[in-house]
Amino acid sequence: MQKIKLQVAVVLVGIAIVITTHHPPSACGQSFAPSDPLTETKAQHNQRMRWWREARFGMFIHWGLYAVPAGEYNGKRSERIGEWIMEWANIPRADYEKFTTQFDPVKFDAREWVRIAKDAGMKYIVITSKHHDGFALYDSKVSNYDIVDATPYKKDPIKALALEARKQGLKFCFYYSILDWHYPAAYVDAPGKDSTAGNRTTKLKPGGKEEYLKYMKAQLRELITSYDPAVLWFDGEWQEWWTEADGKELYKFVRGLKPNIIINNRVGRGRQGMQGMNKTDQVYAGDFGTPEQQIPANGLPGIDWESCMTMNTTWGFKFYDDKWKSGETLIRNLIDIASKGGNYLLNVGPTAEGLIPTPSVERLSEMGRWMKVNSEAIYATTASPFATQLAFGRATSKPGRVYLHVFDWPSDGKLTVPSFGRDVKKAFLLTAPKQRLKIEQTSSGTSVIVPAQAPDSIATVIVLETN
Ligand code: FHN
């Protein structure tokens, strides 16, 4: 009996070793079950995630029929996000469909959109192939509710954008909503709401879920085979009828179609609301966490996460939303996020004509001017090596180098840098590598003697060369 118990124990330990070595923790600290056909070694996982981890900065694009009403319906406006107008204006499906006749983005210019992203320093683009309203912004063969069949535009802007992104060296990616207000089997059962309007949650008629899963897979297959996206960014997963098992199954399905694709954690049910990281009570599907409209308070070194954020207060275009964040805020957000080991997915909401709003373009070019000088301190860096947040700003790291991003320039010309377990050999401004800055080793760290004026009031980067 003792001998059998011993043998069983040996087998169990064996399995544990296999699991941990072969299935690296996904973004949120979990690993996949051994039976997963998509098992990958840690090295394979790191290889698949590498471009994404090094990119650090991407463009989110929320574009669709909701850009036609642009936040106003029958004279009614709202503080709510524009792409939810079918929900907050309680617009029945048949009425919302009428927006297709007015969606004709004649000013859409794929080259210009990609140029704006690239010049801002962005490395990838995630665009809404289908948002909650169910309208396909691409030429779908499994639905007529798409831009080619249902609008006067009759062309596929996604095809043009995918080609242009590749031409200009950016990764092309898709957002896809699991919640679909337009799917026939979906209905709303909420007081005061039209059963075919938008709503936070929908129900599915008997047999509707199987049907919808087939439909979703058909759309995802055409999206992946026709446009070859590098990331699938799911959303709308908070439906009662959507389970973690569904998420895992869809994750396998998508990676089965394209093994090196990257998928966010909103494919499953692990996400803890807007905080965006997965719960830890089990293994959840997904390769990276998705904080929304917020930046984690502390660094999450070694965990893959991406903070998505609006530039004003809406994702989809609203003509009267002028609550724009400043260029300084956006640049410092990017630095803050990189200093905590994350990516920044910054949103634009184009108009129904196909233009990215001027305030967005202006702020992105301001970010681009900063990135043109300082991108070395963002791309392919890892989280700050300092135990606590720096009083004067943030830090990012590379082997042999630490980048200090100084927000608050020392009035006494002496920057006090706490120790962080590496010796500082020399210091210089990233913009003046040949002019060494005087450093003084102190008991608590290093003091760097800096010029009287901050070269860049938003964020000046000082490089510390270390062992
Ligand atoms: O409901 C969506 C919303 O419209 C938008 O797409 C954001 C972007 O991350 N996600 C959902 C809200 O969490």
Answer yes or no: is pLDDT of 27 > 50: no
Q: Could you read off the pLDDT of 229-238 as tens digits, one per residue? A: 999 999 999 9
Q: What is the pLDDT of residue 300?
A: 81
Residue 83 in contact with ligand 1 by CB distance below 6 A: yes
**Which residues partner with 309 through β-bridges?**
346
Q: What is the pLDDT of residue 9?
A: 58
Q: What is the pLDDT of residue 33?
A: 44
Going by C-alpha positions, the residue among 122, 228, 110 that lies closest to residue 161 is 110
Q: What is the pLDDT of residue 299?
A: 81
Q: What is the pLDDT of residue 467?
A: 81
Cα(98) to ligand 1 centroid in Å equals 23
Segments in 287-357 forming alpha helices (H): 327-339
Helices 208-227 and 244-257 meet at what angle, rounded to 10? 30
Answer yes or no: is pLDDT of 20 > 80: no
Average pLDDT of the segment spanning 241-268: 97
Output the residue whose Cα is nearest ligand 1's atom 5.
315
Residue 60 in contact with ligand 1 by CB distance below 6 A: no
Q: Is the separation of the CB atoms in 161 and 170 below 8 Å?
A: no
Pocket mutation for ligand 1, best pick of 83, 131, 235 (most atoms within 8 Å of C-beta): 235
Cα(193) to ligand 1 centroid in Å equals 20
Answer yes or no: is pLDDT of 304 > 90: yes
Provide the whole-model pTM: 0.93
Cα(433) to ligand 1 centroid in Å equals 43
Answer yes or no: is pLDDT of 19 > 60: no
- State the CB neighbour count (10 A cutoff) for residue 191: 4
Whole-angstrom distance, CA of residue 40 vs CA of residue 257 = 15
Residue 384: phi and psi, rounded to 5, are: -55, 135
**How far, in whole angstroms, is CA 104 from its chain's centroid?**
28
CA angle, 307 then 310 then 312, to 5°: 150
How do the residues of the chain divide into helix, strand and coil, expressed in percent and rounded to 5?
35, 20, 45
> Strands 401-406, 414-418: parallel, antiparallel or unpaired by DSSP?
unpaired
Average pLDDT of the segment spanning 323-352: 98
Cα(237) to ligand 1 centroid in Å equals 10
Q: Which of 8-12, 86-90, 93-97, 259-263 has the lowest mean pLDDT?
A: 8-12
Cα(292) to ligand 1 centroid in Å equals 8
DSSP labels for 425-458?
Answer: EEEEETT-TTSEEPEEEETTEEEEE--SS-S-SS
Cα(437) to ligand 1 centroid in Å equals 46
Cα(348) to ligand 1 centroid in Å equals 13
Output the residue whose Cα is nearest ligand 1's atom 1.
236
51-54 contact pairs (CB < 8 A, 24+): 51/123, 51/171, 51/230, 52/124, 52/171, 52/230, 52/231, 52/262, 52/288, 52/304, 52/343, 53/304, 53/343, 53/380, 54/123, 54/379, 54/380
Cα(60) to ligand 1 centroid in Å equals 11
Output the residue whose Cα is nearest ligand 1's atom 4.
83
Ligand 1 atom nearest 81 alpha carbon:
4
Q: What is the pLDDT of residue 39?
A: 76
- State the CB neighbour count (10 A cutoff) for residue 139: 18
Residue 237 in contact with ligand 1 by CB distance below 6 A: no
Q: What is the pLDDT of residue 2?
A: 60
Answer yes or no: is pLDDT of 174 > 50: yes
Residue 235 in contact with ligand 1 by CB distance below 6 A: yes
Ligand 1 atom nearest 274 alpha carbon:
13
Ligand 1 atom nearest 308 alpha carbon:
9
Average pLDDT of the segment spanning 22-41: 53
Whole-angstrom distance, CA of residue 179 vs CA of residue 186 = 9
Distances (CA, A) of 117 to 110, 120, 310, 347: 11, 5, 15, 10
Residue 104 in contact with ligand 1 by CB distance below 6 A: no
Q: Which amino acid is located at 318 in the chain?
A: K
**Which residues partner with 404 through β-bridges?**
395, 462
Cα(444) to ligand 1 centroid in Å equals 45
- DSSP class of residue 152 equals T
Cα(253) to ligand 1 centroid in Å equals 23
Ligand 1 atom nearest 179 alpha carbon:
1
Neighbour-count burial of 4, counting CB atoms closer than 10 A to its CB (0-12 exposed, 13-18 middle, 19+ buried): exposed
Residue 308 in contact with ligand 1 by CB distance below 6 A: yes
Q: Could you read off the pLDDT of 245-254 as tens digits, one per residue? A: 999 999 999 9
Cα(282) to ligand 1 centroid in Å equals 25
Output the residue whose Cα is nearest ligand 1's atom 10.
235
Going by C-alpha positions, the residue among 66, 200, 196, 77 that lies closest to residue 131 is 66
Going by C-alpha positions, the residue among 324, 272, 63 that lies closest to residue 174 is 63
Distances (CA, A) of 93 to 38, 194, 195, 308, 355: 39, 9, 9, 28, 26
Average pLDDT taken over every residue of the chain: 93
DSSP labels for 347-405?
Answer: EE---TTS---HHHHHHHHHHHHHHHHHGGGTTT-B---SSS--TTEEEEEETTEEEEE
> Strands 414-418, 424-429: parallel, antiparallel or unpaired by DSSP?
unpaired
Q: Could you read off the pLDDT of 53-93 as tens digits, one per residue? A: 999 999 999 999 999 999 999 999 999 999 999 999 999 99
Residue 81 in contact with ligand 1 by CB distance below 6 A: yes
Answer yes or no: is pLDDT of 431 > 50: yes
Going by C-alpha positions, the residue among 370, 351, 381 that lies closest to residue 68 is 351
Average pLDDT of the segment spanning 331-339: 98
Q: How confident is the model at residue 225 (pLDDT cuts 50, 70, 90)?
A: very high
Q: What is the pLDDT of residue 1?
A: 58
Residue 315 in contact with ligand 1 by CB distance below 6 A: yes
Q: How confident is the model at residue 31 (pLDDT cuts 50, 70, 90)?
A: very low
Cα(293) to ligand 1 centroid in Å equals 10
